[in-house]
Structure 1
Amino acid sequence: MELETKRLTLIPLTARRLELWLTDLPALEQELGLRYEGEPLTGPLRSIFAGQLAPCRAHPEQLLWHTVWLLAHRGKRLVVGAADFKAPPCAQGRVELGYGLGPAHRGQGYMTEAVAAMTLWALSQPGVRAVTAETGRGNTASQRVLTRCGFTLCRRGSSLWWEKRAQP
């Protein structure tokens, strides 16, 4: 299953492709016929995504909630970024969305398209009542994406938490 937006195809990675993304990016690029220009896979970001590999393998029926979704620009045949759900819906029906873009692709509306599509998809799934996202206090670009996608600020702390609820 893939999601489509005006300019993007959102491609959820299988466990095998997620492993390739982490260990052999040229092989994944060749397999998908795409060039990767997303956020560099270094430091904490790499650790976060590597931590998703085990749940992808252990719970293939919940793959879409555990894996990384690549944001592929259809016209240019390249990956501009990635997004993920942190886990399946919790008991309260919430899922958390994370995302990032390659530096050359920021400020062009790609993430707004991707967040809107993934949020719409998530809220259409059984048991999902809200999508949440966390931003750094100074990350105004990400905050604008969430605002444009209909999220509201729901909690302040060392970071900001945003939420979009399903329509009653």
Structure 2
Amino acid sequence: MENVVTKSLYLVPFTQEIIKAAIIGNPELARVLAVTVLPNWRNEIFGKSLPTIADILCENPLQSEWGWGSLIIHKAEKTLIGYLMLKILPDPTGSVEIGYIIVPSYRQQGYASEATKAMMDWTLCQPGIEKVTAGCDADNIASKRVLEKIGMRLIETRGKALIWELCKTEIIE
């Protein structure tokens, strides 16, 4: 996967080099990417999952080729502002799951929608991918707005979690 470029953002796919730099720390990641890395660009759960992501990229050629997600870099400010997670290996129905995090200081500016829409468009163009799903907390109004804005539809409620979906056949060219 190459970088996906939007109006305001670069989506830089996770590679072994990037994940290793992120494991070492923010100064190393900033050096590798040649951007400013905000101290709160990732949450604790993601930080703990970096070694697992590195193993997945190493062990699975398809996953390594497409990545496990992308870093979200603000083009004008050359700043890492978040990331997208993409479980790209489809299940037997051709479904993959997407998730996203934007640092608080860059929220409510449309970056989550811009990044997630671009990644979904790219994903749904890949062979074998038929739909993208996402989940969010029922109380997370901002995430619900993002998912609605990018064309996903609510398909299920699981406790406090809302499950969203967009099928390849639903995309209007």
Shorter chain as denominator, the TM-score bin is: over 0.9
Seen in structure 2, the aligned counterparts of structure 1 residues 143 and 119 have a Cα distance that, compared at 3 Å, is same
User: Number of aligned pairs?
Assistant: 168
Q: Is residue 2:28 matched to residue 1:27?
A: yes
1:110 alignment counterpart: 111
Instruction: State percent identity of aligned pairs.
Output: 30
Per the TM alignment, residue 52 of structure 1 is displaced from its structure 2 partner at its CA by 1.4
Q: Is residue 2:33 matched to residue 1:36?
A: no
3-state SS of 2:11 partner: strand
2:46 alignment counterpart: 45
Per the TM alignment, residue 56 of structure 1 is displaced from its structure 2 partner at its CA by 0.7
2:84 alignment counterpart: 83
1:167 alignment counterpart: 169
Per the TM alignment, residue 66 of structure 1 is displaced from its structure 2 partner at its CA by 4.6
1:91-147 CA-to-partner distances (Å, cap 9, x unmatched) read 100000011011100000001000110000111001111000010111110111010
TM-score, reference length from structure 2: 0.90
3-state SS of 1:72 partner: strand
Residues 87-98 of structure 1: matches in 2 within 5 Å? 87-98=88-99
TM-score, reference length from structure 1: 0.92
Q: Is the 1:10–1:69 Cα contact (8 Å) retained in structure 2?
A: yes
Which moved further from structure 2: 38-47 or 128-137?
Answer: 38-47
Seen in structure 2, the aligned counterparts of structure 1 residues 40 and 132 have a Cα distance that, compared at 3 Å, is same
Per the TM alignment, residue 38 of structure 1 is displaced from its structure 2 partner at its CA by 7.2
Q: Is the 1:18–1:67 Cα contact (8 Å) retained in structure 2?
A: no
Moved over 6 A (4+): none
Amino acid at match of 2:140: N
1:50-100 CA-to-partner distances (Å, cap 9, x unmatched) read 321210111243225552311111111101110011241111000000110
Amino acid at match of 1:167: T
1:4 alignment counterpart: 5
RMSD: 1.7
Segments of structure 2 that go 5 or more residues without pairing to the other structure are none
3-state SS of 2:169 partner: coil
